Copies of this chain bind each other. A is one copy, B any other.
Amino acid sequence: MYADGEQSRMSTVEIEYCVPCGFLSRAEDVQHALLSTFGEQLDAVTLATGANGVFVVRVDDTVIFDKSEDEYDVDEIVRRVRDRL
């Protein structure tokens, strides 16, 4: 559905980070990179609190980065988000 309008729908990003691990500033860095790069191309970027070492980035509910599987790299996260816009 909406194949032709796909480009114009705005995306939402969620960054879930472990609060007790002190991952807030890392989550803020990723959020800032995304919002300063894509601005209004994104509908919203959410910082969601979590625990147990979580650091996961989702675009419209699809995981595009998971600290437990991927090496942390802000530029790579920005590239992966761009691929989904």
Report yes or no: B46 in contact with A44, Cβ–Cβ below 8 A.
yes
Query: Chain A interface secondary structure, helix, strand, loop or mixed?
Result: mixed
Which bracket fits the contact residues of A?
Answer: 20 to 34
Question: Taking CB as reference atom, which chain B residue is nearest A27?
Answer: B35
- The 8 Å CB contact of A28, one of B14, B19, B28, B44, is B28
Residues from chain B with Cβ under 8 Å of A51 in the complex? 40
A48 to chain B, nearest CB (A): 4
Considering only residues 6-43 of chain A, those with a C-beta below 8 Å from chain B are 14, 19-20, 24, 28, 31-32, 35-36, 39-40, 42-43
Chain A residues engaging chain B, CB cutoff 8 angstroms:
14, 19-20, 24, 28, 31-32, 35-36, 39-40, 42-49, 51
